[in-house]
Chains A and B, each alone.
Chain A
C-alpha cells in the first residue's frame, strides 16, 4: 500500500531538489555566455564612444593618433562588400536552384557537390586567404592585392552560407505551386523564374545579408591576401589597392602605443562603427524575414 502510494504521489523532496539544482546549473551556464557578451558590448561602447565622431569617419589613417581616421578602410569595406555581393548572389542562387530543382540526389556527383559545400562551410577562413593569395593575387590570375581579389576571396568564403540559405528558401516553396505552374504549360525554367524564385526572395535576401555580415568582419583572409595596412586614399576601381575596416582595426591594435600616440581608442572606435554596420545589416535581415515571410 505505502509503496504504491509513493509511486503515484509526489516525487520525494530529494529528487525535486536534484531537478531544481540541475536547472539552476543550466541557467548559470547560459548566464555566463550571455554575461560575457554583455560585458564585451559594454566594454566596446565605453572604449569606442569618445573617439567615434564625424572626424573619425572622414579622416585618413595617420601616424598621429589624434588625427587618424577610418575613411579609406570604410570605403574599402564598402567596395569589398559590393564585389562580394555581385559574386555570391548569382552564383549562390544558381547553385541552390540546381541542387534543389534539377539535381538527382541519388547520383554520386550531386552528393559530392553537397558534401563539398558542407565541408567548405567549415574550412578555416585563413585557408581561403591562402587560396586567394595563390590563385587570385599571384599565380594564374595575378590580380595583385586589389579590391577584386579581396572581394572574390571573401565571396568564396561566404558562398556556402548563401547556398545553404537559398536552398532552404527554395525548399520552403510547396511542390503544389510548381505542379500548378507546370500543369498550365510552363516549362521548368519558367516555373522556377516566375513562381519559385519570387516566392523565395525574402529567404534568399536574408541569407545574402547574413553572408555579407560574416564577410564584413573577416580579417584573417584579407591579411593573407595582402590588404594594405597603411593607405591614405579611397579605392576608385576594381584594380585599386585597398584596406578594410577589420584590417585597419587589427593594425591599430597591434601598433605599439605610447603616451603620445595611443591607438587602442581608435581600434575601439573602429570596432564600434563595424558593430553598428553589422547591427544595421542584421536589422534589415530580420525586418525582411518578418515583413515578407510567407506561410503556405
Chain B
C-alpha cells in the first residue's frame, strides 16, 4: 500500500507537469468577467419575459382571456372599451401575407441567381446591393410607402386605394424582407456539394433540371428556414405599418383597406404619454406578449431548420 503510493509519486515527479506552477487568480477573475458578459444576453431574454409576463397577468385580471383572444372588436382606448385582439391579428396576417407574396418569389429567385447562375463579377455587385436594401432604416421605407408607392404606383395603376392601405405597407414590408430570404437561401444552396450537381449533369440533366430538381430540394431546409425567419421579421415590422397602413383595427382581409398590426398598435399607443398601471399601459404588454410568443415560435423553427442543413453538408 505504502510502496504503491510512493511509486506513483515518483512517476509524477519524473514526467514534466503540464499544470501551471502556481494558481493564477487573474486568469480565473477574467474568465468570471467574461462569463458575466455572456450572461447579459440571458438576462436580456429573462428581462423581456419578466416585464411582459408581469403586466400581462395584471391585464388579464381586468380583461377575461377569452374576450381578448376571441373578441372581434379592438377599441382599448375608447369608451366602451373592447379588447378583442382578432382585428390586430388579422391586420398582422394581412400585412405579413402580402409581404411574403413579394418576399418569397423575389428572395428565392435572387438566391438561385446568386448561387447558381451569376458570374463572380455580377455577384460582387448584386450581393452588396441587396444588403443595402436590408440596411435602409425601416422609417425610410415607411416614408417611401406613404409618399411614393401608394400615390405614384398603386393609385397610378388605377387601384382604388386610400392614402393609408394595407397593400402598400405589405408590399414594402415584403421588399425589406427580400434580403433575409435571399441570403439564408443562398447560403443553403451554396452549401450543397458540387458533386451532386456534377452527378446530375453527368446523367444528362440540364442546368434548369439541376437547379430545380437537385439543388433546390437539397437546400430545402435552409430555404424553409429563410422563409420562416422572413415571416418572423414581417410580423415584427413596425415603422412601415405605423406610417403607411393607417392604424385602423379592421377584421377582414381586403388589402385596399387600412389595417393595424400588433406592432403598430404598440407603437401608436406608446407614443402618447401613458401612466404606469393604466389599462393602456397594460394593453401594450399584453399585445407585446402575443407578438413575442408568435415570433419566438417562428425563430425557434427557423433556427432548427438552419441547423439541419448545416449538419447535413458541413
List residues of chain A with CB under 8 Å of any chain B CB.
Answer: 7, 11, 15-16, 18-19, 22-23, 25-27, 29-30, 32-34, 36-37, 39-40, 43-44, 47, 90-91, 94-95, 97-99, 102-103, 112-113, 115-120, 122-131, 133-135, 138-139, 156, 159-160, 163, 187-189, 213-214, 216-220, 223-224, 226, 229, 246, 249-250, 253-254, 264, 267-268, 271, 274-275, 278, 282
List residues of chain B with CB under 8 Å of any chain A CB.
Answer: 20, 24, 26-27, 30-31, 33-38, 40-42, 44-45, 47-48, 51-52, 54-55, 105-106, 109-110, 112-113, 117, 126, 129-130, 132-133, 135-144, 146-148, 175, 178, 204, 206-208, 211, 229, 232-233, 235-239, 242-243, 263, 266-267, 270-271, 273, 276, 284-285, 288, 291-292, 295-296, 298-300, 302-303
Instruction: Closest A residue to B244 by CB, please name it.
Output: A253
The answer to whether A130 and B285 have CB atoms under 8 Å apart is yes
Known: A33-B110, A126-B238. A119 touches B51 (CB 8 A): no
**30 interchain pairs (CB within 8 A)?**
A18-B206, A25-B109, A27-B113, A36-B175, A40-B148, A44-B143, A94-B37, A103-B38, A116-B41, A122-B298, A126-B291, A130-B48, A131-B51, A133-B270, A138-B276, A139-B51, A187-B24, A213-B135, A214-B135, A217-B136, A217-B137, A219-B137, A219-B138, A220-B138, A220-B263, A250-B242, A253-B243, A271-B139, A271-B143, A275-B136
The answer to whether A249 and B139 have CB atoms under 8 Å apart is yes
Enumerate the 9 nearest inter-chain pairs by beta-carbon distance, A residue then B residue, closest first: A217-B137, A124-B236, A134-B51, A29-B109, A94-B37, A98-B34, A220-B238, A224-B270, A26-B113
Specify which of A15, A113, A134 is in contact with B38 (CB 8 Å cutoff): A113
Instruction: Closest B residue to A131 by CB, please name it.
Output: B48
Distance of A262 from chain B, by nearest CB (Å): 11
The answer to whether A122 and B233 have CB atoms under 8 Å apart is yes
Docked CA distance A34–B131 (Å): 11
The answer to whether B299 and A118 have CB atoms under 8 Å apart is yes
The answer to whether B106 and A37 have CB atoms under 8 Å apart is no
The answer to whether B143 and A267 have CB atoms under 8 Å apart is yes
The answer to whether B129 and A95 have CB atoms under 8 Å apart is no
The answer to whether B41 and A220 have CB atoms under 8 Å apart is no
The answer to whether A26 and B299 have CB atoms under 8 Å apart is no
- Classify the secondary structure of A's interface with B: helix
Docked CA distance A126–B113 (Å): 34
Instruction: Closest B residue to A221 by CB, please name it.
Output: B238
Distance of A265 from chain B, by nearest CB (Å): 10
Instruction: Closest A residue to B46 by CB, please name it.
Output: A116
Distance of B17 from chain A, by nearest CB (Å): 14
Known: A115-B303, A189-B27. A34 touches B129 (CB 8 A): yes
The answer to whether A7 and B204 have CB atoms under 8 Å apart is yes
Distance of B92 from chain A, by nearest CB (Å): 11
Distance of A77 from chain B, by nearest CB (Å): 11
The answer to whether A130 and B284 have CB atoms under 8 Å apart is yes
Docked CA distance A187–B31 (Å): 12
The answer to whether A134 and B236 have CB atoms under 8 Å apart is no
The answer to whether A26 and B243 have CB atoms under 8 Å apart is no
The answer to whether A119 and B300 have CB atoms under 8 Å apart is yes
Docked CA distance A47–B271 (Å): 26
The answer to whether A163 and B137 have CB atoms under 8 Å apart is no
- Classify the secondary structure of B's interface with A: helix
The answer to whether B143 and A219 have CB atoms under 8 Å apart is no
The answer to whether A223 and B267 have CB atoms under 8 Å apart is yes
Known: A27-B113, A188-B27, A219-B137. A127 touches B236 (CB 8 A): yes
The answer to whether A19 and B267 have CB atoms under 8 Å apart is no
Distance of A129 from chain B, by nearest CB (Å): 7
B contact residues around A216 at 8 Å (CB): 137
Instruction: Closest B residue to A99 by CB, please name it.
Output: B38
A contact residues around B42 at 8 Å (CB): 112-113, 116
A contact residues around B139 at 8 Å (CB): 217, 219, 246, 249-250, 253, 271
Known: A102-B31, A220-B267. A44 touches B106 (CB 8 A): no
A contact residues around B291 at 8 Å (CB): 124, 126-127
Distance of B312 from chain A, by nearest CB (Å): 19
B contact residues around A27 at 8 Å (CB): 113
The answer to whether B41 and A117 have CB atoms under 8 Å apart is yes
Distance of A13 from chain B, by nearest CB (Å): 12
The answer to whether A127 and B34 have CB atoms under 8 Å apart is no
Docked CA distance A212–B149 (Å): 28
Known: A116-B41, A163-B41, A249-B139. A135 touches B270 (CB 8 A): no
B contact residues around A159 at 8 Å (CB): 40-41, 44
Distance of B122 from chain A, by nearest CB (Å): 9
Docked CA distance A119–B48 (Å): 12
Specify which of A94, A120, A223, A250 is in contact with B44 (CB 8 Å cutoff): A120
Docked CA distance A15–B284 (Å): 57
Docked CA distance A135–B284 (Å): 15
B contact residues around A253 at 8 Å (CB): 139, 142-143, 146, 243
The answer to whether A275 and B140 have CB atoms under 8 Å apart is yes
A contact residues around B132 at 8 Å (CB): 37
